[in-house]
């Protein structure tokens, strides 16, 4: 069944009008009255709804069942991603959500091609959150990873949480298999297209980050993040 996100409280037997963006999607999919759809609002549940009325610009449905199901990984991964250019950042966020990240922290580093601040930064974060929601619709997740406001790498490191932080780097790097003990909470720091500067890497090491590598080949920024997430899910998460 097609899945749609709605930003409102949902409950069994509730009848309501669907928002315009959902109606447009329903029209594109050529759904009809009498068909069922799945709704979710980020609280972890999925709601089966029955289409009762369907017009060109509005649609009414009734919730007929609630499914308390989870597609979340037991491994909590925060992706700390240096902002990349063009569609690379969009692609990275979309696929990282499919792979199971729990939260996304965009950061600005010295070699970032894209520099965002003020209203432009707020609008971009909002756009990224929309991409995350669309990815959840597609992959079956009922909890929505939050995209946090953009910060500099230095500011992030100064206020970072105490759980394990790993940095993709070739300096003092070790394999993911060498990390001990097995983590449940982890933050993955991925650099921009030009990589981290030596100063940035030193900041990270001084703040307690560990360096890891995925082999001898140099990976693009969007490849590095997704490959690392998949490897961590295989080692410690829900990839079997």
Closest to 99 (Cα-Cα) out of 233, 4, 223, 213: 233
Measured between its terminal Cα atoms, the distance across the chain in Å is 26
Is the C-alpha dihedral spanning 95, 100, 102, 108 positive or negative? negative
Closest to 71 (Cα-Cα) out of 91, 93, 46, 49: 46
| Domains of the chain in sequence order | 3-67 (2.40.240.20), 76-236 (3.40.1280.10)
Contact (CB, 8 A) for 32 and 83: no
Percent of the chain surpassing pLDDT 70: 100
pLDDT band, very low/low/confident/very high, at 116 (cuts 50, 70, 90): confident
What is this structure's pTM?
0.93
Phi, psi for 43 (deg, rounded to 5): -85, 0
pLDDT band, very low/low/confident/very high, at 47 (cuts 50, 70, 90): very high
pLDDT band, very low/low/confident/very high, at 126 (cuts 50, 70, 90): very high
Average pLDDT along the chain:
94
Q: Give the C-alpha separation, 211 to 189, whole Å.
A: 9
pLDDT at 124 over 80: yes
Q: How much is the pLDDT for 11?
A: 93
Closest to 90 (Cα-Cα) out of 121, 122, 135: 135
């Amino acid at each position: 069944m097609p899945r749609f996100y709605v930003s409102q409280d949902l409950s069994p037997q509730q009848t309501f009008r669907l928002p315009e963006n959902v109606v447009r999607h329903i029209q594109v999919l050529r759904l009809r009255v009498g068909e069922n759809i799945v709704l979710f609002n980020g609280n972890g549940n999925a709601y089966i709804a029955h289409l009762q009325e369907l017009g060109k610009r509005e649609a009414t449905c009734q919730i007929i069942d609630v499914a308390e199901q989870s597609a979340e990984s037991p491994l909590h991964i925060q992706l700390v991603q240096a902002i990349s250019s063009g569609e690379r950042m969009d692609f990275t966020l979309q696929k990282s959500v499919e792979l199971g990240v729990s939260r996304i922290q965009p950061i600005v580093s010295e070699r970032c091609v894209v520099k965002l601040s003020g209203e432009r930064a707020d609008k971009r974060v909002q756009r990224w959150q929309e991409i995350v929601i669309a990815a959840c619709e597609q992959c079956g997740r009922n909890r929505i990873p939050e995209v946090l406001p953009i910060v500099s790498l230095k500011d992030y490191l100064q206020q970072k949480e105490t759980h394990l932080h790993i940095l993709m780097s070739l300096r003092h790097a070790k394999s993911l298999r060498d990390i001990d003990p097995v983590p449940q909470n982890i933050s993955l720091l991925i650099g921009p297209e030009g990589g981290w500067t030596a100063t940035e890497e030193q900041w990270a090491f001084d703040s307690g980050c560990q360096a890891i590598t995925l082999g001898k080949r140099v990976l693009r920024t969007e490849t590095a993040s997704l490959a690392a997430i998949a490897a961590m899910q295989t080692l410690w998460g829900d990839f079997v």
